[in-house]
Amino acid sequence: MNRKVVFLSCNPSGYLFTCIERLVDEHKVQALVIHYPLDKDAPFQLNTQKQGILFLDKSSCTQELLISRIQEFNPDAIFCSGWADKEYMQVCKIMKGKTKRVLKFDNPWRSTLKQNLMRMIGPVYLRRFFDACWVSGRPQREYARKCGFTEMEISEGGYSANYEYFRQAYLNHRENKMKKFPHRFIYVGRYIPIKGVDLMWNAFYEFQQETPNDWELWCLGKGELRPQMPDHPAIKDFGFVQPAEMEKFVADTGVFIMSSIKDHWGVAVHEYAASGFPLVCSSGVYAYTAFLKNGFNGFVHQPGNKASLKKALKKITSLPDEQLWEMGNRSAQLAGIMTPSVWASIAWQFADSNQWPQFRFPENQTE
């Protein structure tokens, strides 16, 4: 019997739908994806013709119609993105006892006032709506435990990049980079304050002024901070790029950079680790806990600290090309722990098994 699953999602993303497609193809699952309207700063193209996947724009239906559609679909599992959407929470409450209700979230534990409040009420409040948790990594697992979920009810691996695509790009361009390593950083993401792009641009600008060199910074994205990008010949803006068009940028750049002030995960870190890139990330980008070992395949800097970022820039650009190339190979090795097939297997276990899946990132991958 084919299993059915519902994803109560927020902003659509290319990597999520790659994973859902893998779930449908490899496990013969039928999926209903409820989603918000497309983000103007990240207008991913959806494959709405994919057999086995139904899409429903949440803004196009009432709460009553949403509940009716889900009940009619009769899923074996519901995956809900967070607990902020009251209509999604109502769906999960109504479906208690009728399906497995899985909370998906990427909030890392930071011991904030709000999180400590949730730690007090979560064991009672959240358990009314959810039976298990699917989180992105180990910092999020800690938060799930504090919200009242047991170790056996929590699985990591809630996100995966389109691993095969970026892995193939790595293989396609590995030899060329061995001959001539590109002295270009690449950033992929929105141009918004929380991503720390203004800090990144200014740090790179000052780095160029203080120690003139042949390195460039290529930026792929859109957002409100675009007017603040410094006018410098080594800083280039390419706008938003669809995932399918990324390979040409993988070929022409060498080091991935993400200096977010606070980034709950950061799938782009996984994408460029799979692409065989050395990484420069702030410790506010929590994907570094899975894909970056400080000094092994890149460098970690303090979030919001320009001096710390400039130090990381100087460290990595001072390395010989052969060492940068080897760091990239190490990134590619670390990236293979999570793939769309692994993600699909976890989702399938949530829907099909009598026991919750127990995926964990190896602890020795973290500095």
Q: What domains are defined for the chain?
A: 4-160+338-365 (3.40.50.2000), 163-335 (3.40.50.2000)
Is residue 44 predicted with pLDDT exceeding 80? no
Specify whether the CB–CB gap between 359 and 286 falls below 8 A: no
3-state secondary structure (DSSP) of residue 143: helix
Q: For residue 88, what are the contacts with CB-CB under 8 A and spacing of at least 6?
A: 8, 34, 80, 81
Angle formed at CA 5 by CA 241 and CA 39, multiple of 5 degrees: 25
Least reliable range by pLDDT among 152-161, 236-245, 296-305, 322-331: 236-245
**pLDDT value of residue 354:** 80
How are strands ordered across the β-sheet holding 30-35? 53-57, 30-35, 4-8, 77-81, 100-105, 132-135, 154-155
Is residue 47 predicted with pLDDT exceeding 70? no
**pLDDT value of residue 365:** 46
The residues that bridge with 56 in the sheet, in sequence order, are: 34
List b or e across 214-247, with b for residues whose CB sees 16 or more CB atoms inside 10 angstroms.
ebbbbbbbbbebbeebeeeebbeeeebeebeebb
- For the stretch 206-222, pLDDT in tens is 999 999 999 999 999 99
Each as own residue / partner, the long-range contacts of residues 316-320 (CB below 8 Å, 24 or more positions apart, any chain) are 316/255, 316/278, 316/280, 317/183, 317/213, 317/215
- For the stretch 255-280, pLDDT in tens is 999 999 999 999 999 999 999 999 99
Least reliable range by pLDDT among 13-17, 27-31, 135-139: 13-17
**pLDDT value of residue 1:** 65
Residue identified by tokens 């309207």 is 37
Mean of the pLDDT values across residues 39-68? 82
Q: Is the dihedral of CA 305, 309, 310, 312 positive or negative?
A: positive
d(Cα 283, Cα 365) in Å, to the nearest integer?
14
Mean of the pLDDT values across residues 54-74? 94
Q: What is the DSSP letter of 148?
A: T
